[in-house]
Amino acid sequence: MAAIKFDSSGLKNFVKDNELDEIKDQVRFAHQTLVQKSGAGADFTDWVNWASIQTEATLAPIHQAAEKIQANSKVLVVIGIGGSYLGARMAIDFVKSPWHNELVAGKAVKVYFAGNAMSPMALDQLDQVIGDQDFSVNVISKSGTTTEPAVAFRFFKQRLVAKYGEEGAKERIVATTDAKRGALKSEAEAEGYQTLTIPDGIGGRFSVLSAVGLLPMAAAGIDIDQVLAAAATAEKTYSSDDLYENPALAYAAYRRILYDKGYTTEILANWEPSLQYLSEWWKQLMGESEGKNQKGIYPSSANYSTDLHSLGQYIQEGRRDLFETVVRVDHSKHDLTIPKTGSNEDGLLYLEGKSLEEVNKTAATGVVLAHVDGGVPNLAVHVDRQDEAGLGELIYFFEMAVGVSGYLFNINPFNQPGVEAYKTAMFALLDKPGYEEQSKVYHERLND
Ligand code: PA5
């Protein structure tokens, strides 16, 4: 049974039935292009059937690495950025909790993320948080040369060596990187770190179901076999090229229809703080895949009800170029009954004894109605539970949708040429060898 349900009923005032019909052949073609690997960037589409080809043997190194970390460490520091970071963080929050490190139980270890910023304060404070606890490091980088994780890795390697000695440190480093190439691969081979492979045919933002996401998940106590089983089932659930049978295609189609009507910003909204990183992961997936050739929907996010007290005004009455996709959890892992006091001093007597989960859901329904009335088209993705099954299917749903969506925009959804521009400017200003020409130009610009 599918763990997620797609609901487009919040589009009634915005999209007519015939509009979906009009785009269905384009969507069919985009889907066929994706699964037949005949489109732009086809070399990076192995994620389409990655989960279903995993076996006990292919997963054994990941399980073994997680068990070793759990046996000798209390903490795993996961070093990576972008696609080498967001998936694991999203997964741990989603299945476990944003408070995983405080609530950690059983064999699971605490998982902290580093190397996703340049901030000295972040690194220094994480160092203090780890304190005397035994720790291991999983450094994740396909290229091995990405500045932020490479810098963080230097710090944590130094710390490992200081605590465990040269040989002991090597035993506590797992490098997740390219199978053959790159600086991290060479270093791992020279130093004898255990390595896990980032598959050639899967780009960073689609890599959460490879070792990139699976090792941190397994170390945190998530059942990665179940996540992959759910994603493998999703491969079948979302295999039809008919958008009336395949909700991922319907989602891609509606997004495109809305874009053509001027709704160029999508807000991925949630009603659970533990889904905040789902949105962060999704923003990279959508933004880096679609934002090319001056096209693409701008992916943004909102965390409700928190952001109703900050962004709510804009969403209700600001520029009408927004649409909203709300991820709704049908069965919360926790529920609480609002305490009875018999007093109405806080005006809450009418809620006494009610389930907080029901209040949260009712608030979500009310907000959809208000936003639709305010001119914000609404889509919903219902996930049954925040468990491994829900996670595996949700990942596949969004990946499939953006692959198709990219081809509907007639761009290559699997490259990211635009991310190089900032690196060139940064390296030039930092006087990186090889950037001498650009260094001159950029320094001169600053001196103008
Ligand atoms: O999706 C992507 O390709 C990027 O977000 C990369 O994952 C990110 O830049 C990190 O790159 P690397 O894994 O080479 O360090």
pLDDT digit string, tens, across residues 295-323: 999 999 999 999 999 999 999 999 999 99
As for how many domains the chain has, the answer is: 2
Chain centroid, CA 141 distance in Å: 16
pLDDT in the model for residue 422 = 87
Q: What is the mean pLDDT of the chain?
A: 96
pLDDT in the model for residue 1 = 67
- C-alpha to C-alpha distance for 283 and 326, rounded to whole angstroms: 14
Residues 187 and 105 in one domain: yes
Q: Assess contact for 217 and 225: CB atoms under 8 A.
A: no
Q: How is 12-60 classified by DSSP, letter by letter?
A: TTT--HHHHHHHHHHHHHHHHHHHTT-STTGGGBGGGGTGGG--HHHHH
Q: Is 231 left (phi over 0), alpha (psi -120 to 50) or beta?
A: alpha
pLDDT in the model for residue 431 = 92
R_g of the chain computed on alpha carbons: 23
Residues 27 and 69 in one domain: no
In short, whether 81's Cβ falls inside 6 Å of ligand 1 is yes
Query: 199 lies in a domain?
Result: yes
Domain boundary among 207, 223, 239: 223
CATH assignment at residue 147: 3.40.50.10490
Query: 428 lies in a domain?
Result: no
Residues 85 and 218 in one domain: yes
What token pair was written down for 201? 């045919």
**Is the bond leading into 301 cis (omega within 30 degrees of zero)?**
no
Residues 200 and 257 in one domain: no
In short, whether 413's Cβ falls inside 6 Å of ligand 1 is no
Q: Is 171 a residue whose pLDDT tops 80? A: yes
How far does residue 404's CA lie from ligand 1's centre (Å)? 21
Query: 423 lies in a domain?
Result: no
Query: 399 lies in a domain?
Result: yes
Which of the four pLDDT bands, split at 50, 70 and 90, describes residue 225?
Answer: very high
Query: 426 lies in a domain?
Result: no
Query: 164 lies in a domain?
Result: yes
Residues 210 and 343 in one domain: no
How far does residue 406's CA lie from ligand 1's centre (Å)? 19
Residues 17 and 96 in one domain: no
Domain holding 24, by residue range, is 4-38+228-408
Tell me the mean pLDDT in the region 219-228: 98
Residues 155 and 283 in one domain: no
Q: Is the dihedral of CA 240, 246, 250, 256 positive or negative?
A: negative
Catalytic residue numbers?
288, 423
| 43, 78, 84: residue to mutate for ligand 1 pocket, most atoms within 8 A of CB | 84
Residues 236 and 378 in one domain: yes
Tell me the mean pLDDT in the region 378-405: 98
pLDDT in tens, 48-101: 999 999 999 999 999 999 999 999 999 999 999 999 999 999 999 999 999 999
In short, whether 87's Cβ falls inside 6 Å of ligand 1 is no
Q: Assess contact for 351 and 363: CB atoms under 8 A.
A: no
Helix axes 17-35, 247-260, angle to 10 degrees: 120
Domain boundary among 223, 257, 289: 223
pLDDT in the model for residue 2 = 79
Residues 335 and 382 in one domain: yes
Q: Helix or strand or coil: residue 285?
A: helix
Residues 191 and 238 in one domain: no
Q: Phi, psi at residue 428, to the nearest 5°?
A: -60, -45
Residues 62 and 173 in one domain: yes
- C-alpha to C-alpha distance for 353 and 351, rounded to whole angstroms: 6
Domain boundary among 199, 223, 247: 223
| 81, 118, 185, 282: residue to mutate for ligand 1 pocket, most atoms within 8 A of CB | 81
Helices (H), 220-272: 224-237, 247-260
Residues 150 and 212 in one domain: yes
The pTM for the full model equals 0.96
With pLDDT > 70 as the criterion, what percentage of the chain qualifies? 100
